[in-house]
Structure 1
Amino acid sequence: MKKKLFKCLSIALVLVTFLVGCGSVTPQESNEDALKVGLVVAGSLGDRSFYDSSNEGLNMAIEKLGIIGKVLECKKDISVYKDQLIQASNISDVVVVMGFEFYDVIQEVAKEFPNKKYIYIDDIIKGVDNIACIDYKENEGSFLAGALAAMKTETGKIGMVGGKDVPVIRNFQIGYEAGAKYINSDIKVETIFAGNFKEPQKGKECALTLYSKGVDIIFQAAGKTGKGVLEAAKDANKLAIGVDVDQRYISPHNIVASMVKAVDLSIFESLEKIQNNGFEAGKVYEYGIKENGVYMSYGSDDMTKLVDDETKAKIDDLSKKIISGEIEVPEVK
């Protein structure tokens, strides 16, 4: 009797651990056999971009697949990356890992937990059997953003504010420049790297610098730092292009569109495959335009239209040409 009681208490403790910080309890979350998923983010929620999109994917899986989920935030503190991964591994069947910052530590931790599955978002690791990677073709989506910027600019000068000067952000940059040049070979494209992904004020300073140089539309690929870019667009009465999620709602009179990177969709689809035994550990899953992994979004119908139907049709045509291979978008990853 005591052993049975102890076992029940242990199961309850595991469930309580998972439910802390995960919002309201759904009926599925009381199922001890449900798939348990830990989402570890290098930064923190509330960026209205990359990390929030991952959380939306987790919540979608909680609602539609009945999984149990927990988010562990590292708040860009490198000293806790490994500890948070270990904690997630101890209480999860699957660990979703968000951020290039985990490249080394995830390989170390995954080898310590060979029976757990890891989904590494936004980078590629090969040769570790229990790590599957999701790689986005942000260069393809950024090509569309660059083409749109080139069609919207009145000064012939467009800009981009990136977070850190790292390969994934360079992939945004090279696609953005290629798309702009495809529309207008003489266009001027200026990029500033803010140096981090967590300081909106720094992003605002970078954007205002570009606007002062005659740039009239800026694409931001800078996480929480990018919130400052969007604020600068509003303050300077200029234009901006959002990233990762549809950010038009933040300032619908200044944000013309967003290059969506469907982190939420890719996480949901991956967890669905795991439930259906169709997910291959060790594989790299690619999400480009063809897979609906990157695309342009123009806000809701009740917002002021800043991109006309003719321009949207041209962007759609470019998407089709990228899918068919008629347009080959350069990449740096």
Structure 2
Amino acid sequence: MNLFKTVAVLAALSVSALGTAALSETRVAFVTAEGGLGDQSFNDMIHEGLKRAEADMDVSFVVIQPRAVSDFQSSLIRAAGQNFDLVLGATFDMIDPMKAAAEAFPAQKFGIIDVGSEPLAPNVFGAVAKDWEGSFMVGIAAALTSKTGTIGFVGGKDIPVIHRFFNGYYYGAKLVKPEVNVLERYSGSFTDPAAGKEYALALVNNASDINYAVASLTGAGVIDAAKSTGTFAIGVDANQNGLAPGTVLTSMMKRVDNLAYDIVKSVVDGSFEGGVNKQYGLKEGGVEAAMDVNNAGLISAETLKIMDEMKAKVISGEIVVPNYIELDTAANQMGTPAIDRPQGN
């Protein structure tokens, strides 16, 4: 029996509802990151992975949408008390809440997507899409497509995981076009499209003609700003090219759908491994620059060729894209080949 139920808060879960699942099913609770379902980005991608797992395996799942980051810990802990086979969370903001939940329920299997490099706990399977490698690819596209020689970045919050995107974007842009100017701004929110538009318009006023939105729902405003100014936006997490065909240059897809699917599959087939953080990069198909009919022709054939060449070098190890979280704070350069770090990063 399939079980799918979206709830605003974990308190809405009931034992009777959970009891409708067949005993043979692997039962999963997905606690969403900030923004919840409908973000057309990170949470929706994980949701797609769970729907695919439900179709391919004997799996049922519920979706739990905390009202705020402050509700993460209570949501995880109460989910663990409902005897799910897996409690799945996501994002950097959920690291400490999941550590607390994992300690309180040592026999519970937990999964978390989009974290740092260090394992969280012996019963937590961590999975990381190498967004810095995907951001590297769209940085190349932006630098080589820009007509003004200035490109921009709008992050949702000024936090390490978002700097990870920016540094990859900056590194790709500077590696192929050292003279390009890369502007960096943070809106302070993942759920405010109006702020995203305001920050993107400010970047356009400073000559940036391509702006990369790493801000979940806030990114919709960046795309709207691009439409109204005849510039380009770059989407994130999901393929957002179709949100504004001809305006979204490309999207840095984090295949968190694949990561979610793999974590669930490990529970189903008995290979679940806690105490690890597995990384999925260009080599593993964890990230990609989305190309489809909605952005066909926006990136030149010459630029696409360069992107393919640079991707091959990352996969071979000739190029090592810097991961902001692992950088030596005292180092003035980053990556292989090394370039100067951006100011303030």
What amino acid sits opposite 2:140 in the alignment?
A
Q: Deviations over 1:184-228 (max 9, x none)?
A: 111100010111111011011000000011110011111111111
Q: Is the 8 A contact 2:131 2:287 kept in 1?
A: yes
255, 268, 271: which one aligns with 2:248? 255
Counterpart for residue 317 of structure 2: 325
Deviation at 1:77, TM superposition (A): 4.5
Higher Cα Rg, which structure: 1
For 1:88 and 1:107, how far apart are their aligned partners in 2? 14
Determine whether 1:295 maps to 2:280: no
Deviation at 1:135, TM superposition (A): 1.6
Deviation at 1:309, TM superposition (A): 3.2
Counterpart for residue 111 of structure 2: 119
Q: 1:241 to 1:127 in 2, by over 3 A?
A: closer
TM-score normalised by structure 1 residue count:
0.89
Determine whether 1:149 maps to 2:134: no
Q: Is the 8 A contact 1:40 1:97 kept in 2?
A: yes
For 2:69 and 2:324, how far apart are their aligned partners in 1? 27
Determine whether 1:71 maps to 2:56: no
Q: Deviations over 1:84-109 (max 9, x none)?
A: 11232123110110121122111111
Aligned 1:84-103 pairs, distance under 5 A: 84-91=75-82, 92-103=84-95
Deviation at 1:75, TM superposition (A): 3.2
Determine whether 1:20 maps to 2:5: yes
Report how many aligned residue pairs link the two structures. Answer: 310
Q: Deviations over 1:6-46 (max 9, x none)?
A: xxxxxxxxx99x64339xxxxxx853211000000132111
For 2:29 and 2:47, how far apart are their aligned partners in 1? 11
Counterpart for residue 10 of structure 1: none
For 1:199 and 1:233, how far apart are their aligned partners in 2? 16
For 1:168 and 1:206, how far apart are their aligned partners in 2? 20
Counterpart for residue 338 of structure 2: none
Deviation at 1:64, TM superposition (A): 1.1
Deviation at 1:82, TM superposition (A): 2.1
For 1:21 and 1:33, how far apart are their aligned partners in 2? 22
TM-score normalised by structure 2 residue count:
0.86
What amino acid sits opposite 1:285 in the alignment?
K
Q: 1:162 to 1:303 in 2, by over 3 A?
A: closer
For 1:244 and 1:302, how far apart are their aligned partners in 2? 17
What amino acid sits opposite 2:66 in the alignment?
C
What amino acid sits opposite 1:116 in the alignment?
Q
Deviation at 1:312, TM superposition (A): 1.9
- What is the aligned-residue identity percentage? 35
Deviation at 1:313, TM superposition (A): 2.2
For 2:32 and 2:273, how far apart are their aligned partners in 1? 22
Which structure carries more helix by proportion? 1
Unaligned runs of 5+ in 1: 1-14, 23-28
Q: 1:329 to 1:304 in 2, by over 3 A?
A: closer
What amino acid sits opposite 1:248 in the alignment?
N
Counterpart for residue 197 of structure 1: 190
Deviation at 1:76, TM superposition (A): 2.6
Q: 1:221 to 1:200 in 2, by over 3 A?
A: same
Determine whether 1:60 maps to 2:45: no
Q: Is the 8 A contact 1:42 1:75 kept in 2?
A: no
Q: Is the 8 A contact 1:252 1:304 kept in 2?
A: no
Counterpart for residue 31 of structure 1: 22
Unaligned runs of 5+ in 2: 8-19, 326-345
What amino acid sits opposite 1:68 in the alignment?
S
Deviation at 1:302, TM superposition (A): 6.4
Aligned 1:178-197 pairs, distance under 5 A: 178-197=171-190
Counterpart for residue 7 of structure 1: none
Q: 1:195 to 1:302 in 2, by over 3 A?
A: closer
Which piece of structure 1 moves more, 323-332 or 309-318? 309-318
Deviation at 1:279, TM superposition (A): 2.5
Question: Secondary structure of the residue that 1:240 maps to in structure 2?
Answer: strand
For 1:213 and 1:83, how far apart are their aligned partners in 2? 43
